[in-house]
Amino acid sequence: MFVVAHRSDPPDPNGVYGSFVRELAASPEQASLLVRLRLGHGPDEFGWCSHPGHEHHWERHPCPTLLLAQLVEQNNRQDRMELPPS
């Protein structure tokens, strides 16, 4: 049984997002996750993201999905640089 303290304040969105990025970066399936995240998110001739799943078809390229993938990669590179040599 786990006891969780009651929070009166909502969670910090930046903290939640950062935690999500770190979890994705640590995932053993990270490479395939990043491929799937990027799939279909290319720029069109006007600089908008061409992915059909965007709620608005005027999402700037790089879109938030691609920016998420970049953050995951950067986090992973940073973590590898901080590891002591084995």
- The per-residue pLDDT for range 70-84, each reduced to its tens digit, is 999 999 887 767 656
Of 68, 61, 67, 64, nearest in space to 43 by CA: 61
Of 82, 77, 52, nearest in space to 65 by CA: 52
The answer on pLDDT for 1 being more than 80 is no
Give the domain ranges of the chain: 30-79
pLDDT of residue 34: 96
pLDDT, tens digit, for every residue of 12-71? 999 999 999 999 999 999 999 999 999 999 999 999 999 998 877 789 999 999 999 999
pLDDT of residue 50: 93
Specify the pTM.
0.75
